[in-house]
A and B are shown apart, each in its own frame.
Chain A
Amino acid sequence: MAEAGQGEACATVQVELPDGTSLRLGRRDFMRIGAVAAAAAGIAGCAPEQERILPRVHRPEEARPGLPLNYATACQSCPAGCGVVARAREGRVVKVEGNAEHPVNRGALCARGQASVLDLYDPDRARSSMLVARGKAPPVTMSPEAVDQAVTDALKKANGGKPRVAVLTGSIQGPAMRSLLTDFVELFASARVVEWEPLGSMTETIQAAQELCYGKRLIPQYRLDRADVIVSFGAEFLDTGLSPVQLARYFAKRRRPEDPRGMSLFWVFEGRMSLTGSNADHRVRVRPSHLADVAMALANAVLVERKFGPLAGREDVTKPLAGFGVDAVAARTGVDAGAIRAAASDLIKHASRGVVMGGGAASTGPSGLALEIAVNLLNSALGNDGPTVDWVRPSMQAAGPFGDLAELVHELRGGKYDALIIWGANPVYSAPPVLGFAEAMAHVPLVVSIADRLDETSRQADYLVAAAHWLEAWTDVAPLWGIIGVGQPAMQPVGAMRGLGDVLASWASLLGATGALADATAQAAGKDAVPSAAYHYIKRYWREHVFPSAGVDKEFEEFWRDVLHRGVLVPETYPAPGAPREFAASALALPSWEAGKQGELELALHAPHGMYDGRSGNNGWLLEYPDPVTKITWDAWVGLSPRRMKAIGLIDGDVCEVKAAGYSVWVPAVSIPGQHDDVASVPLGFGRTAAGVVGNDIGANAFTLALMTARGPQLAGQVVTVRKAGWHVELAIPQGEKTIDLSERPLIPLATLGEFRKDPKAGTERPEGDWSIWPRHEYPDVRWGMAVDLSACIGCGACTIACQAENNIPTAGRKGVRRGREMHWLRVDRYHVMPVSPRKARTRAELEAQTASREKAKADPTWLDNPVVVAHPLMCQHCENAPCETVCPVGATNHSNDGLNVQAYNRCVGTRYCSNNCPFKARRFNWFDYSRDRDNWFSRLFEAEMPKLAAMNNRWPLQLRYNPEVTVRSRGVMEKCTFCVQRIAVGRGKAKDENRKIKDGDVVPACAETCPTQAIKFGNLSDPTSEVAKLRASPRGLTMLDEQKVGSSVTYLTKVRNDEG
């Protein structure tokens, strides 16, 4: 306004003040004030301290301060290769979301993907390269140029100028990246590339069995969305196996009881209680080493007993099944024969519309191959192979040609290599110690680790080359057949880190390479070019190899821009599902195996949701992410069945020595209802010793318990002993009680499919509330509301972490969780439902029956052998008559006219009365100043955990992760779910700009956006056409605690379990 006044030749300047009044200034006054202001600005400029808001010299041309920039890229937190959209604010990524156009995850993302943002800003990341000298001296920082020079000089000198080089990498899926690596190793006289994934042995078995049965190594895509019946043999596809986000989405598509195609029926045979198993309709407990027997028995039931399908007539197929009669196996393994026959009849009933899956940790044991072959046999026999087991478009996730690490170790020991280059792997931590990888490294003259921190392996290297996070570097991925994605950096690295491609290209040019790699380096050095050699290499590869076969009618540059924009290249047409393949009966010449003796404990290692294989070991969000099955945070555990716990004399938290194959770990025991009595499950990924301040020495490293087999580490089935160690630790479990009696606390709508068919309202009957003396609120335009479909929710908890990332939620630490201080705005409670009828007792006889069954369940908890598990996501319910609002003495929490229960942080004095009065306990209090580093000797006198709290929440550069649209709370104020009010503001603004009413899709909160099963829906309840209003009106809908007259805005839809065969 001032400028406008100057420009025009008017005598006065009108300045509008924010309160609507205005100032009128004469020209002279204006000049006078202007001169003073300019002088004042000059004085401010003399101040010695300058804060740089934009730390980047080269600002991307599209970047506007205050507006987010979205980059489509590819998640590499696990081999599933989900597409993500990284949201960058002011040049820093603050949040990642699933890429809605990506066929793997369709906009969803798991907890680990969400938490990967925190890894970017980890204070313990190596922000520059280092001379490590095998840890003999404190590491010395090196510039990228210096480390490149030092490494290449050493390579040039090695072996008289003919270096023999071994390269050990994690999974590399992208064709361009693979080609780049191939180009690089061609520079050396002899070289070997070994890809190694600590969990690769599971998928190795699937591929090996496919090769034996059908002649081709591949991992089929399991189309659970087409399956009427799913039978899983320890396949933990909703946990971390294969592609959890994709499979969870497929799975949930058929789990809604209204589905016109019918609800799918889910059978699970498994030993440990997994998240997959907790979603089963029928779950049968089988120890991992018995799974092959049971799968063969199922095949026997189908092919021999029921003589179903064309394979039943083939003697070469049925003969090997002779030893696996249903009753014989049932007697041998203690599995109910009736269950096997029932599963067989379900499969036969839905032949060619069923899926049988294997592939969990059980398939890494001695009987694993037999299990996978049995699974293939079943799929072939039932005609599932092709329609639902899609082998035409196989999955490339975790399908790497994993090299033999044992052989590499042998060769390293033999001095076959002069140099070892490691990227994306941490074998000193994650390889079974029997391999002796650390010791083998000592035989190599030059070890260079390209890693993001001084981890267990890098500590024993000569050089650490600081590696970029996948959000900072160029790469490409190919998760499924025909689908290739480009991983583009969404920001400049936080320090002097580089991606693998850039490092290798730089070394190649120093080593005097010619060809594509050298060209890429030269192009990167050009003026005004993208200064990443990997970018040029990938782009060139795409031009030469991908573009011609993509069959698009465009210029390459346009095609490339489109790919970068969408993040993924999806074929225009997909081939039709293939016909069933010929099953090679020769595969049934099974190797022999020894099934474990009944009563003897066997091990089941698993990659937990949070820690996975330990690669994000310093990530506070993941460490504080409650395991979906046990709800444990900040620790590893050994899970035993309640009966086994009692037999050993353990209570939750008693530390045990878990010993297998001569190695022991000491972890607290926890009883897991649903676990097989003979199974001890231990999570992998804990026990890092060089992860960082936050993650060091949390739990114990269970990779030490793994045995080494031909197909990689054996993760399940080996004999294990669990011995009480004699001390006790307090487990950090945020959830209070894990059992719910729905007859006393009718909070969760639960029904079986049969009941639902009879009455769609089944499970939602609740005591009617009285009339209210208060008039209801009016919401003429908008009332925000949410609906959670408990039938679709699998309980993975991705929403919890998405919420944490979006809303700048602090991490409370282990002690914090132990004391009940966790800050998650959205928690997922996991209940075991007591077998008491939730129907309201109307007669005395009904009441007595209810009481009797409750007493029986309490006295004899055998129902916990296979409990009914319900996951219950709980966020602020934004009640219409919110109990929190009336009790706040300063009026800091109020009801907005669009139905939100809003919290004014600035007004809050922190009486915590609102939290006390909240019947859902959805509010969270800032017990400490999580956003300020208050760690000093004095504060440690008061609170010993101050250093950890600082390293988790506020040590530089963690501040960069903050979402600038959400207030960072100070201590002493209450906070809670806002329904992502910042996103509502954006959506409202957008609708206003377009001069229309808000519609579905304008506002999607972080939890709903990331939910792999799309169980959470959000929208306007006042608009009867909105999806969420329809769900609220659904007969399955239940709002909690209506009898308390709170008027919750969140509708829970009945969890329906399929009890129909």
Chain B
Amino acid sequence: MAYPDDSALRGLPREAPGEGVLGGPLFEREPLVTGGKNYAQVTQDVVRWSERYPTRKWWMAMGIAGAVFTLYLIGMFGTTVYGTGLLGINHPVGWGSYIINFVFWIGIGHAGTLISAILFLFRQKWRTGINRTAEAMTIFAVMVAGTFPLLHTGRPWFAYWLTPLPNGRGPIWPNFNSPLAWDVFAVSTYLTISLVFWYLGLLPDLASVRDRARHPWRKALYNALALGWNGSNRAWRHYESAYLMLAGLSTPLVFSVHTIVSFDFATAGLPGWHATIFPPYFVIGAIFSGFAMVVTLMVIMRKVYGLESYITLNHLEAMNKIIMFTGMVVGFAYSTEFFMAWYGGNAYEGFIFKNRAFGPYWWAYWIMFSCNAFIPQLFWFKKFRRSIPVMFFVVICVNIGMYFERYVIVVTTLHRDFLPGSWGMYSFSPFDWMVLIGSFGMFFTFFLLFTRVFPVVAISEVKGILPASQGRVPAAKAEVSHG
């Protein structure tokens, strides 16, 4: 059976009556790549974007992203030079948009490693179409995220004090009781491992780009980037074992990073933060938001870069299923929090949750709840799971909902804690808006540069899952390659 494009896919195994081993029906999985691609076509489809002059669309997107990025730079400049007073934070809400953005972007950064490491270990081959982009997304999201905790401090130029500091009088240690100190290690480890993992996966593809390059500078550049990859058997063997080891290393990080980020809240003594549910709840929430962001990016990218054959509706549906599942877990966590607040019988905690849902920030709470717990329920219907407009709507909702989840956790807990006299309200200042919007500019600037420079699909891995590599030859094999 031929699969020229997505329209032929149904998301279910193909049933071929009478083709089974014993003459019964044969259930065959639909191919992960459509269009009957051969190796050369795969390389051509992916690499061509970095070999041609950027398209008009790219320039437009880059122009917008760059302009928005400028907002971020101005906002960060203002708060760094004149003080965090330019933001909306106050007493008692000492953390505001910067921490919300930090947790949001770190959460986004989760899907990449999950896809590349955990799905790799579980032999989920459909990951190959999306893992490169998802990992890139992770790197950039963590980079964006990392700037916030540094710059939210009152004196960012001393942010390096959060690391152990060797000096002439002996090392000055950070306070290891503080989850913020753990954060520094967790996030920097995560960024490092993700970066190495991503880069390692890039090596064969960079070599492909190098091999196709005509301009000597280009050749030299990619040669350097490919670290002398020669495609030898030895190289492949080392590469694959290194890749496997890194996948093993990154898997616990998927859990550790957001667990530790959740400790920022969970180890504090405040009602609404001080809860043992936080680590799993944060990890699942992060995966949830990360997948939503991956789908957001993929839906656009497969269209713009003509990658529909590699990122098929089956891929998107698989991710949508994960989104639906994690969305239900998140919704369950929300309900559990309420239950525990009631069951625990602590008046302060009971108040906090009542206040979340029905206090002055009720709108934030219900945006969160409906976007994260209700709207993904649309994915119970296969039609919706496979409909691009519907899934785009849902994942945008999830992105918004997950932003508000962090807003609710940070703001509604702080704004009314133990003493009524110290209660207060929080709202964004223009700088909060600039930096929030600008952080998307920063992310997309990096992302657009990435799509220009690096192969956006893992060529070597996709080649590995082409039917030809799987030992069965579809009808399309007869076609002559022009690669």
Residues in A lying within 8 Å of B, measured CB to CB: 735-740, 744-745, 747, 816, 819-822, 827, 829-831, 872, 874, 883, 885-891, 907-913, 915-917, 919-921, 923-929, 934, 939, 942-943, 970-974, 1041, 1044
In the complex, which residues of chain A have a beta carbon less than 8 angstroms from the beta carbon of B267? 886-887
B160-199 interface bits toward A, Cβ cutoff 8 Å, 1 = contact, 0 = none: 0110000000000111011111011000000000000000
Identify A745's interface contact among B159, B179, B347, CB under 8 A.
Answer: B347
Identify A883's interface contact among B89, B269, B416, CB under 8 A.
Answer: B269
In the complex, which residues of chain A have a beta carbon less than 8 angstroms from the beta carbon of B78? 942
Determine whether the beta carbon of B180 is less than 8 Å from that of A939.
Answer: no
Determine whether the beta carbon of B418 is less than 8 Å from that of A747.
Answer: yes
With contact pairs A890-B174, A912-B154 given, residues A907 and B161 touching in the complex (Cβ less than 8 Å): yes
C-alpha spacing A735/B416, complex, angstroms: 12
In the complex, which residues of chain B have a beta carbon less than 8 angstroms from the beta carbon of A910? 84, 153-155
C-alpha spacing A784/B40, complex, angstroms: 79
Q: How far is the CB of A869 from chain B (nearest CB, A)?
A: 13
B414-442 interface bits toward A, Cβ cutoff 8 Å, 1 = contact, 0 = none: 10111111111100000000000000000
Determine whether the beta carbon of B86 is less than 8 Å from that of A943.
Answer: yes
In the complex, which residues of chain A have a beta carbon less than 8 angstroms from the beta carbon of B175? 886, 888-891
In the complex, which residues of chain A have a beta carbon less than 8 angstroms from the beta carbon of B418? 745, 747, 919-920, 1041, 1044
With contact pairs A939-B82, A943-B85 given, residues A921 and B419 touching in the complex (Cβ less than 8 Å): yes
Determine whether the beta carbon of A972 is less than 8 Å from that of B153.
Answer: yes
B136-162 interface bits toward A, Cβ cutoff 8 Å, 1 = contact, 0 = none: 000000000000010011111011011
Instruction: Determine if B91 is an interface residue (Cβ-Cβ < 8 Å).
Output: yes
Instruction: Determine if B334 is an interface residue (Cβ-Cβ < 8 Å).
Output: no
Determine whether the beta carbon of A919 is less than 8 Å from that of B93.
Answer: no
Determine whether the beta carbon of B351 is less than 8 Å from that of A973.
Answer: no
Determine whether the beta carbon of A735 is less than 8 Å from that of B421.
Answer: yes
Residues in B lying within 8 Å of A, measured CB to CB: 78, 82-86, 88-95, 149, 152-156, 158-159, 161-162, 173-175, 177-181, 183-184, 264, 267-270, 347-348, 351, 414, 416-425
Q: Which 3 A-B pairs give the minimum distances between C-beta atoms?
A: A910-B154, A972-B154, A736-B423
Cβ contacts A to B, 21 pairs, < 8 Å = A736-B420, A739-B420, A745-B347, A747-B418, A831-B421, A887-B179, A887-B180, A888-B175, A888-B180, A891-B174, A911-B149, A912-B95, A912-B154, A916-B414, A917-B269, A925-B84, A925-B91, A928-B85, A970-B155, A971-B83, A972-B154
In the complex, which residues of chain A have a beta carbon less than 8 angstroms from the beta carbon of B82? 928-929, 934, 939, 942-943
Chain B's closest residue to A886 (CB) is B177
C-alpha spacing A154/B453, complex, angstroms: 87
In the complex, which residues of chain B have a beta carbon less than 8 angstroms from the beta carbon of A1044? 269, 418
Main secondary structure on B side of the interface with A: loop
Chain A's closest residue to B426 (CB) is A820
Q: How far is the CB of B382 from chain A (nearest CB, A)?
A: 45
In the complex, which residues of chain B have a beta carbon less than 8 angstroms from the beta carbon of A738? 420-421
In the complex, which residues of chain B have a beta carbon less than 8 angstroms from the beta carbon of A887? 177-180, 267-268
In the complex, which residues of chain B have a beta carbon less than 8 angstroms from the beta carbon of A928? 82-83, 85
Determine whether the beta carbon of B90 is less than 8 Å from that of A911.
Answer: no
Determine whether the beta carbon of A890 is less than 8 Å from that of B162.
Answer: yes
Main secondary structure on A side of the interface with B: loop
Determine whether the beta carbon of B174 is less than 8 Å from that of A921.
Answer: no
Chain A's closest residue to B183 (CB) is A889
C-alpha spacing A684/B221, complex, angstroms: 76
Determine whether the beta carbon of A973 is less than 8 Å from that of B154.
Answer: yes
With contact pairs A745-B418, A909-B155, A911-B153 given, residues A916 and B95 touching in the complex (Cβ less than 8 Å): yes
Determine whether the beta carbon of B268 is less than 8 Å from that of A917.
Answer: yes
Chain B's closest residue to A912 (CB) is B94
Determine whether the beta carbon of A971 is less than 8 Å from that of B154.
Answer: yes
Determine whether the beta carbon of A927 is less than 8 Å from that of B85.
Answer: yes
Interface hub of B158, B267, B422 (most chain A Cβ within 10 A): B422
A-B contacts besides A829-B419, A887-B267, A1041-B418, 8 pairs, CB < 8 Å: A736-B421, A819-B90, A874-B422, A888-B175, A889-B162, A889-B183, A891-B173, A934-B82
In the complex, which residues of chain B have a beta carbon less than 8 angstroms from the beta carbon of A1041? 418
Determine whether the beta carbon of A740 is less than 8 Å from that of B83.
Answer: no
With contact pairs A889-B184, A916-B95 given, residues A737 and B159 touching in the complex (Cβ less than 8 Å): no
Determine whether the beta carbon of B422 is less than 8 Å from that of A912.
Answer: no
Q: How far is the CB of B448 from chain A (nearest CB, A)?
A: 30
Determine whether the beta carbon of B269 is less than 8 Å from that of A874.
Answer: no
In the complex, which residues of chain B have a beta carbon less than 8 angstroms from the beta carbon of A886? 175, 177-178, 267
With contact pairs A736-B424, A886-B178, A942-B86 given, residues A919 and B154 touching in the complex (Cβ less than 8 Å): no
With contact pairs A735-B421, A745-B347, A920-B422 given, residues A909 and B153 touching in the complex (Cβ less than 8 Å): yes
With contact pairs A736-B424, A921-B417 given, residues A822 and B91 touching in the complex (Cβ less than 8 Å): yes
Q: How far is the CB of B423 from chain A (nearest CB, A)?
A: 3
Identify A819's interface contact among B88, B152, B162, B180, CB under 8 A.
Answer: B88
Identify A927's interface contact among B83, B153, B162, B177, CB under 8 A.
Answer: B83
C-alpha spacing A740/B175, complex, angstroms: 36
C-alpha spacing A747/B421, complex, angstroms: 11
Determine whether the beta carbon of A917 is less than 8 Å from that of B270.
Answer: yes
Chain B's closest residue to A946 (CB) is B82
Determine whether the beta carbon of B180 is less than 8 Å from that of A883.
Answer: no
In the complex, which residues of chain A have a beta carbon less than 8 angstroms from the beta carbon of B94? 912-913, 915-916, 925
Determine whether the beta carbon of A744 is less than 8 Å from that of B154.
Answer: no
Identify A973's interface contact among B155, B174, B177, B414, CB under 8 A.
Answer: B155
